Structure 1
């Protein structure tokens, strides 16, 4: 992707930077870069608000106020030349500059590490995951596509973010991050490719909104440069992501891909790694100091201390915390939501409230994604992605005890009209979607639902879904 020059400015799309002659580069960010590229591509024609929204936020339903923020950022970067971006009342915006030859001193953006500076910063310390981080990085070195899979709230995104920053620190090529959670369910390969192109700061340059085949353009841009591309929250667009990553793998020999998803992508060359829960102590561990060495307990204490810096659990309280973490089976989101209750309820009452855990675990961070603001919301997101036979299976398998067999599942689902094949297929789907767990240590394999998933499924049955 070549630089673009107009007036005294040079735009470096790959880096998302605007540089004035004799000045320092100004970071625009991927959205503002996409907006500016779309305006430039129009060559003096008015570009509507809706068209600019589609360029900068492909496949997403975004309020127009977000576009105004990006326009304001561009005008600020242009300073005294802010009038290069004009407003046409009731119609949209227009770029009034004229493109010129690029100065020879400007480096080719394809030789630049374009996206490392645009990685999201972790919101909190990653607790108890160093061993898993090293394991996942080692697996990524041995494959070209690694999918971190697991239930909602297991910590896939935070682990992927740590992997991305660790890789960026090694200076081994570009590192790019594409967030896919806001894409519509079931959107196509072209829409996913547009989102990735905008995350790379390409926007209109990759054919977004221009009718071009964006996956091919994206592959041409990446080419042979070494890059780690992270695709976060893929589960609702898994089919489209699978198609895109296969195109990129075929045409970009030095590209590595890291995906997070509640289900595998089922793409060629994919290695799936199930993210494990945090470590919880066995019931026979009672020493307070020993309990605090377990990562689940450490996370709980850290989150309580973030709200109450004086929190220092006595041995009896540490044992109650350990019991909470065991009951929540080391699931990080559930542990954080439980810890959020402690400043108001105390540890003992929080533990007692887990008898109605979906009602209790609903005080997430105010600005967290909706699907992470409560355990019910996290499970709603997964449930919405299930076909009806899998939904039926989830509701009825929740009545079975832990460690049920395949035959037991078939028998439980037969009264619901599912044949043996349909029941087996539905159970396999629940395993793939990280809503059921399978234990292969014995013969035959045994299945179970997690505590939170079981509570959710039983609530659905109680609400009249059969």
Structure 2
């Protein structure tokens, strides 16, 4: 939620035995944190800040779900959850009442006090966190968020893996928000801006607000959740740090986001898939289209950009193609939807063949490598070795999924022996630049459309595009002549 002007205020709103900390997005009953979902907390904040007045249902929905299409039943479900959290039966009615035909009102007395004056609250061990404010709703990730929330306290160390723009940071932040009620402390460390592995511990020390010279031994007794975001370029240092912390701090859980696993002891890896996209066979209704999370995201972002935007039946084919061509990649879909006011739907669709021009308009509030799709891919490409860069570019001549044998057949030469080709292709898959598909007894590798377009552009600039297109054509021709059925095993649409 991003509609409240004083979301980052240090003030605390007190009512009854409760204290609502605005900055921390935390509500305490005495010194005990309440179990409360993010939406219920958003609703509570609106009602408490407008205590004594009636807030209409439409206004509540607009404030809490600013860019989503939400039915009134959703609001009622969260109000019910909020009442349960504040006390069962008659106790709940002391706080939130329903005004028929008008909306909801918070009727308890509310006192607004600066956080620094709450000495009694500050002296108890209440949950602390430095989680960044989430600016947009999370779309299409309920299942994987729920899985992480359930598993992380038990497994203690999980790595969320996926390509740039897939939404790893967004998912990790939502998981951390939901787990705040389970841990005494929540610590978020963004490593995106750090290039020197020696600075990792310093960044963590700052996030923990420790004095200079203090060691990380302070984590030994903490029941804490540590989120290490964007670890791929500091792979080795993060691996040793995580292993050391898990050994020395038995009550610590660690959630890592990276474009490849850390390969550390005790690591559980969860790959973040793209959003669900509609089939090429077509859609028959708006309701059917809105069942796909990629379409939900596109529509919500388009509506935020263009007032009055609504998905119509005549738009279904175009929107479906946009979502498919952008691989269900959240960053790409958001950036495409941001062009809706300038290009309209047909214009966005027409620009898909030149996707990097279309997706070059960035999000100025994001870190540089998340501002545009090209910036995200540049970041991944620059982390590769020269050989990995070369192989990635040359593989772009494959228009469909390919086997390792096919990769060797097209790329293999005296300077790049078959074993080396296999090793590099597998490495690119680990780094989330290729996706691995299993089926029919074969392993196949496939580009995301956006990644292939990027690699193909690099290959063209290298001057090797024509040569490898010819090698690809010769390989396909040779395979067909060798066995009429073999091509179906080598290359699959």
Superposition TM-score, scaled by structure 1 size:
0.72
Residues 28 and 333 (structure 1), Cα distance of their counterparts in 2 relative to 1, 3 Å cut: closer
Question: Partners in 1 of 2:22 and 2:349 — Cα distance?
Answer: 48
Question: Partners in 1 of 2:358 and 2:172 — Cα distance?
Answer: 28
1:239 matched to 2:236: yes
> In the alignment, is the contact (CA less than 8 A) between 1:291 and 1:319 conserved in 2?
no
Q: Which residue of the partner structure matches residue 248 of structure 1?
A: 245
> In the alignment, is the contact (CA less than 8 A) between 2:145 and 2:175 conserved in 1?
yes
Q: Which residue of the partner structure matches residue 330 of structure 1?
A: 328
1:181 matched to 2:192: yes
1:221 matched to 2:218: yes
| 1:340-419 equivalent positions in 2, closer than 5 A | 340-415=338-413, 417-419=415-417
Which residue, 199, 209, 228 being the options, matches 2:207?
199
Q: Which residue of the partner structure matches residue 172 of structure 1?
A: 183
How far the C-alpha of 1:203 sits from its partner, in A, is: 4.2
> In the alignment, is the contact (CA less than 8 A) between 1:114 and 1:200 conserved in 2?
no
Question: Partners in 2 of 1:367 and 1:446 — Cα distance?
Answer: 38
Question: Partners in 2 of 1:162 and 1:264 — Cα distance?
Answer: 20
Equivalent pairs counted in the alignment come to 351
SS in 1 for 2:429: helix
**CA distances 1:262-289 after superposition (whole Å, capped 9, x unpaired):** 1111111111110011111112333222
How far the C-alpha of 1:401 sits from its partner, in A, is: 3.1
> In the alignment, is the contact (CA less than 8 A) between 1:194 and 1:203 conserved in 2?
no
| 1:424-435 equivalent positions in 2, closer than 5 A | 424-435=422-433
Question: Partners in 2 of 1:413 and 1:361 — Cα distance?
Answer: 30
Off by >4 Å, runs of 4+ in structure 1: 26-29, 105-109
SS in 2 for 1:424: helix
Residues 420 and 294 (structure 1), Cα distance of their counterparts in 2 relative to 1, 3 Å cut: same
> In the alignment, is the contact (CA less than 8 A) between 1:288 and 1:316 conserved in 2?
no
1:136 matched to 2:134: no
**CA distances 1:400-423 after superposition (whole Å, capped 9, x unpaired):** 132211111112221372112211
Which of the pair has the greater relative contact order for Cα pairs under 8 Å at 6+ separation? 1
How far the C-alpha of 1:139 sits from its partner, in A, is: 2.8
**CA distances 1:104-148 after superposition (whole Å, capped 9, x unpaired):** x99998x735642x2111010111111121122223133121010
1:464 matched to 2:475: no
SS in 2 for 1:330: coil
**CA distances 1:23-43 after superposition (whole Å, capped 9, x unpaired):** xxx9999xxxxxxxxxxxxxx
Residues 422 and 343 (structure 1), Cα distance of their counterparts in 2 relative to 1, 3 Å cut: same
How far the C-alpha of 1:308 sits from its partner, in A, is: 1.3
Residues 243 and 310 (structure 1), Cα distance of their counterparts in 2 relative to 1, 3 Å cut: same
RMSD of aligned C-alpha atoms?
A: 2.4
